[in-house]
Amino acid sequence: MQKIKKVKNNQKKGFVMALVAATLWGVSGTCGQFLFQQRGVSVEWLMSARMLGAGSILLGVALAKKDRHVWAIWRNKADRMRILIFGILGMLTVQYTYFAAIKHSNAATATILQFMAPVLIALYFAVRHGRRLSLPEYGAIGLALAGTFFLVTHGNIRDLNISPLAFILGISSAVSLAFYTLLPGSLISKYSALSVIGWGLFIGGVAISIVHPPWKIDGVWDPYTIANSIFVIIFGTLIPFYTYLKAVQIIGGQKASLLTSAEPLSATIVAVAWLGVSFHAMDWVGALLIIGTVLMLSAGKKVTEKIQSEG
């Protein structure tokens, strides 16, 4: 009985961690929009500063806790290659495409487009296990496509509501988030989440620093710029990336990705309330349709959980 209770408590903990991570990501996206559009800070500088800063802090904490996984991950050739790929193609790519989409549109739109990731993950599992999509999964794909159509065109295919570049970046961030969610599975099961996330952030930070070193500071700096930058680094990077992968470790990648519905909601509410982002009826329709994919995918979760347990 106690074992069952412990499992349930862990499940609840995983759900809470995923929701906290998603909410913080949404709010930090709005902070990023403020920095890009009102203070002239570049996406590249913010990426190099936040990834190097958060990565260094996490690795420092891991070393202080005498985490033996900090260096062990580099001793295995396959794992060494996987952490490099995760840092560059997973961690860096998902953050860069997301914040670049924000710069060219707004936090609400970019976050909602990124929320296509759960659908992509469902498709991945279907292909990987060689099975046909379930009716709820077909429904989720339909909702996602319809939601994207309304969000991007407002119902008029001849008139785009956002630029083609913003749309491409938004979809790219969804693909990157799916990749980020699925890639580190074997690493997380073998090494501590603290080490995996710390190295992933640090590696991504080193990679983007080649393009724009963090000491080449741009934009207009005042207390608001400093406060928003700190929030993005600590509460938008360090805390949510760690808690999200811990949630993945506890409840699995697909369940964790479904709970990220809190991200587009928090990003939209904060962007509208704080930055005065114009969000029309068609935008809300598109957002609700895309978020509705969670309900459709949840309807087929028993099938998915069975497949995951077999995998």
pTM: 0.83
The CA angle 284-172-24, to the nearest 5 degrees, is 60
The predicted structure's pLDDT at residue 4: 62
Residue 1: pLDDT band (50, 70, 90) is low
What are the tokens at 22?
């998603």
pLDDT, position 298: 67
220 compared with 188, residue with greater pLDDT: 220
Most confident of 95-109, 123-137, 231-245, 265-279: 95-109
- Given pLDDT bands bounded at 50, 70 and 90, which one contains residue 254? low
User: Is the four-CA dihedral 243, 245, 249, 254 of positive or negative sign?
Assistant: positive
- How far is residue 73's CA from residue 277's CA, in Å, rounded to a whole number? 44
Average pLDDT of the chain, as a whole number:
85
pLDDT band at 310 (very low <50, low <70, confident <90, very high): very low
pLDDT score, position 262: 80
Instruction: Report the alpha-carbon distance of residue 253 to residue 28 in Å, rounded.
Output: 22
Residues 6+ away with beta carbon under 8 Å from 9: none
Taking the C-alpha atoms of residue 82 and residue 237, their distance in angstroms, rounded to an integer, is: 21
pLDDT in tens, 10-65: 788 888 898 899 899 889 999 999 999 999 999 999 999 999 999 999 999 899 98
CA dist 294 and 290 (Å) reads 8
CA distances from 108 to 40, 46, 83, 263 (A): 19, 19, 30, 9
Q: Above 70 in pLDDT, residue 120?
A: yes
> Residue 126 carries which side chain, given as an amino acid letter?
A
Compute how many other C-beta atoms are within 10 angstroms of the C-beta atom of residue 89: 16
All residues at 6 or more sequence positions from 224 whose CB lies less than 8 Å from its CB, including other chains: 34, 39
Mean pLDDT of 66-82: 91
d(CA 78, CA 80) in angstroms, rounded, equals 5
What is the DSSP secondary-structure string of 129-167?
Answer: TT-PPPHHHHHHHHHHHHHHHHHHHTT-TTS-SS-HHHH
Higher pLDDT, 154 or 163: 163
Average pLDDT over residues 110-139: 84
Rounded distance between C-alpha atoms, residue 44 and residue 63, angstroms = 28
Q: How confident is the model at residue 228 (pLDDT cuts 50, 70, 90)?
A: very high
Overall average pLDDT of the 178-199 stretch:
85
Closest alpha carbon to 111 in 35, 237, 26: 26
pLDDT of 128 strictly over 60: yes
- At residue 244, does pLDDT exceed 60? yes
- CA-CA-CA-CA torsion for 114, 18, 263, 164, nearest 10 degrees? -10
Residue type, 181: T
Contact, 60 vs 221, CB < 8 A?
no
How is residue 76 written in tokens? 């295995």
Q: How far is CA 97 from CA 16, 254, 278, 294, in A?
A: 26, 21, 22, 22
Q: Provide the residue ranges of all domains of the chain, joining segments of one domain with +.
A: 14-310
Nearest Cα to Cα of residue 274 among 20, 22, 35, 18: 35
Q: Centre a 10 Å sphere on the Cβ of residue 8 and count the other Cβ atoms it contains.
A: 10
Averaged pLDDT for residues 290-305: 66
5 band by pLDDT with thresholds 50, 70 and 90 = low
Mean pLDDT of 210-228: 94
Section 63-78 average pLDDT: 90
* Winning range, highest mean pLDDT, from 29-43, 274-288, 296-310: 29-43
Confidence of residue 308 (pLDDT cuts 50, 70, 90): very low
Report which of residues 119 and 169 the model is more confident about. 169
